[in-house]
Structure 1
Amino acid sequence: MIKNSKLTSLLLAGILGASLLTGCSGGGDTASSDEVKKIGITQLVEHPSLDQTREGFIKALEDNGYKDGENIEIDYQNAQNDNPTSQTIASNFVNDKKDLIYAVSTPSAQAAYNATKDIPILFTAVTDPVEAGLVKSLDNKDGGNVSGTSDYLSIDKSLSLIDTLKLDVKTIGVMYSTSEVNSKVQVDALKEYAKTKGYTVVEKGISASSEVNQAISSLVGKVDALYVPTDNLVVSSMPIIAKTANENNLPILASDEGSVTSGALACAGVDYYQLGYKTGEMAVKILKGEATPADLAVETMDEPVITMNEDTMKTLSIEKPADVEVKTVTTETN
């Protein structure tokens, strides 16, 4: 009886030990799986500024211990400047039960917002998130599942370049997408600013990239400078616009550095890499469970960075101002 009892005890101990080992092994796999957060990145179109926000966002995650393929899984989708595709991407992210959606541009953010009121959404490169219907206020005190960063910069800071570069400007042309809320906000601000400075504004609305050539050609000879807002359709067509403008001695004052590297003369704009990085830091708080989007106010970057294109400066015979800090770039060709 004693022998049988010992044998039974040994068998039970072995079974229990194996069970514990199996349980530990299975529990470890489950914990590992639970730790991997799924992040969906939806971007309207590829152009330098939007790309920089994505790069900054991912770098902020990495700097805080979140690495793709390890403890996070990043699913990057580009809508190729097609709003219905943005909506499809957002719906797919919801169906895939992403833990967080990072929306680059206003249309992408609106699509994500319309697709879910539960999954945390962080936007960037949105000029006016209130007008876009993403948040009720910039302090986001009544916020839901959405917050992020805005690339808004007051029009007087953007167009201070006219005086800084000593440009002879009386008439300003502006091209913009008629379907982007961001663009309407900026064009309205431009017209209000123009009244205070005595400028005349000539508008040219477009709805597709196929209209860009005709639009820029129609402005040549009628305006003294071209202002380019943070408009995704226009900015993604900047190489075409810059080629025509530079050939006709028409200076382009842009709102983002990416446009300058594509041939625009200059911009006084935000640093989009840093804007994305700042959004990534917000994402870290959400991923760690330290905050929800409703706890996070919309953030902006107030001080512009002046960037000038050396190639365009030579073409237009314009010199870099000596009394202002200026970053210079050259034209990038594909």
Structure 2
Amino acid sequence: MKDAMAHWLKFGVFGIQVSGVESFTDSTLLSDWKNVTSQYSGDDDARVLIAATSEITPQRIFSLLNMTEGADLLTSQYLLGLDVDSPERKSGDEIARMIKNYISAAGNRSLSWSVGGPQVGHMASLVGERLLRLYHVLLFTLPGTPFVDYGDEIGLEDLPKLPGQPASFNMTRMQWNNQHNFGFSESSQNADSASNVTVQSQDGDKTSVLALFRALSDLRGKERSLLHGEFVSLGSDQPDVCAYLRRWDQNERFLVLLNFGDTESAVSLTPPKAADLLTEAAVVLSTDPQRGEGQLSLRQLKLGASEGLLLRFPYVA
């Protein structure tokens, strides 16, 4: 295992992810492997070791933290929280409850979030095209580290699953362009095909999944409230809507509204304290490409079906 890790680290990969850590019986393995990644780390060039588990309950996930302390992060499928072979629709209330429970159980420990991966499949195949953009907004605005799989940034879906096959057998190769084999390699295993789910087709399209992904990634990297901010859950009179606030010191506040329903919702928010919200906020981005920019009244908010909306407003002493 150490030789395999060193092989890829020499190629310049920035990290190694190890799955199934809940089945490990030797607690020293991850520490040994962390020593390997550390050998290839520099001051501005860190190499990370990620531990991944298929556990979905906070208690089981956090019980692994002592065993996985040699790793830089522990990631799970907690947000999925359902049988992927018979998915059930989750409401905004349920998602909000799951998030609050997880943050509460974590305490001061590092958080990470993901929906999809080699063991379960790509995000678009799990949550559907209707909710894909909304889940991207969710992952990039929660406290902690967001994890996405290759192709999630363009809405890549998996091949149809055959009975008895693991998800990893059905994961589609990355689709860069519409050339032979989608520009992934010179292999002839994939036929030539036209697709709008490629980097090339979405690059420059302001309404694409890729454009939304890039905007969220850019905000996440430079806004302190999104990077370090406190998570404040907001009550809503609509069960399909999950709403929360991110705030840090005297920096701009970010308000996140996610409509998991398939119909439009008129939302009335209930902040913990009246001072938590102003009367209006500016639109930063929306999963609906048709929504314009400008200020919105927080007393008369309307969310489209499956819309994720990110708003900002200034700190007021």
The question of a shared fold, defined as TM-score above 0.5 by the shorter chain, is answered with: no
TM superposition score normalised by structure 2: 0.28
Structure 1 or 2: more helix by fraction = 1
Q: Which has the higher contact order (CA 8 A, sep 6+)?
A: 1
Q: Which has the larger radius of gyration?
A: 1
